[in-house]
Amino acid sequence: MTPDALDPGCGRTLEELSDYLSAGSSPDSLHMDNCPQCQAALAALRRLHTLTGQLLESDLHQAGSTDEPWFRSIMDNLRLETKAGRSIALAGAHPDDDLSETEGAVVALIRTIGDTVHGATIGKCRFNGNLETPGAPIGIEVNVTALWGERLPDLANTLRQTLAQALARHTELNVDDIDIAITDLGVVSPGSKGNGTAP
């Protein structure tokens, strides 16, 4: 069998997915319910909605604006992640095995794992290196929005360790560097459900 060409991605836009999330229905729902890229983007949108719900009202007002840099950055990256991306080879037990995982799946894993770390919300996430060459050294750049009141070095260390564990478990990538940059700070309302500390 000739190996299939690179996954072209599903082609749905973030706007379509956001509409689906808001309305709960779409003429394209059959696809969205069965597409891993759409599912990952929808999950990330849900988490983003949770974050915005935790911000102070003043920040929330700004967050609703597409001119707000951190919000626009996260949305831009989610838009990229609706694509499956490159195919990352996995070692097979049989010579005719053709095993892989998608770049989109790994990026979504990083975002999901990172978002579980208290005080962190993942923004940009990029791989540096040749993902398609087994064993090639890979660097990962992760931008993070941190909640005000977190000790940032501790947050970065926890995040780096958590991501390294998840990547070691679920990929065969040779990750030699996880570069974490705190690019924004958010403030949690004292009355919100978030666990962050108000200043």
Partner 1 sequence: MSTADQLHRLVLSVPGVAAVYPADPAWRAPMNRLGAVMAPGTSAPEPELVRLRMDGSTAHVRIRVGASGDVPAPELARRIAAEIRATLGTETEMEAGAIAVQICSIAAVPSVPRKAEPTPSPATAPTATTRPSMQS
Closest CA to 4 of 102, 126, 109: 102
124/43 Cα distance (integer angstroms): 16
151 is a site residue for partner 1 (CB under 8 A): no
Tell me, residue by residue from 10 to 49, as one string, x for binding to partner 1 by CB under 8 A and - for no binding: xx--------xx-xxxxxxxxxxxxxxx-xx-xx--xx-x
Both tokens of 29, joined, read 């729902």
- Helix (H) / strand (E) element for 182: namely strand 174-186
Write out the binding residues for partner 1, residues 157-196 only, by CB under 8 A. 158, 162, 165-166, 169-172, 193-195
Q: How many CB atoms lie within 10 A of CB 21?
A: 16
Nearer to partner 1, 67 or 89 (CB): 89
Count the neighbouring beta carbons within 10 Å of the beta carbon of residue 48. Answer: 18
What gap in Å lies between CA 141 and CA 124, rounded to an integer? 8
CB of 80 to partner 1, least distance (A): 16
Nearest distance in Å: CB 67, partner 1: 25
When asked if residue 65 is in the footprint of partner 1 (CB under 8 A), the reply is no
Answer for which of 15, 60, 64, 98 binds partner 1 (CB under 8 A) is 98
CA atoms of 97 and 1, how far apart (whole Å): 11
Residues 12 and 35: beta-carbon distance below 8 Å = yes
Note whether 60 binds partner 1 by CB under 8 A.
no
- Decide: is 105 part of the binding site for partner 1 (CB under 8 A): yes
Q: How far is the CB of 62 from partner 1 (least distance, A)?
A: 21
Both structure tokens of 10: 């599903």
| Cβ neighbours of residue 50 closer than 8 Å, sequence gap 6 or more | none
Instruction: Assess 90 for contact with partner 1 (CB under 8 A).
Output: yes
Report the nearest approach of partner 1 to the CB of residue 111 (Å). Answer: 9
SS3 label, residue 173: coil
Smaller CB separation from partner 1, 40 or 146? 40
What residue ranges bind partner 1 (CB under 8 A)?
1, 3-4, 7-11, 20-21, 23-37, 39-40, 42-43, 46-47, 49-50, 84, 87, 90-94, 96-102, 104-106, 108-109, 112-113, 115-118, 158, 162, 165-166, 169-172, 193-195
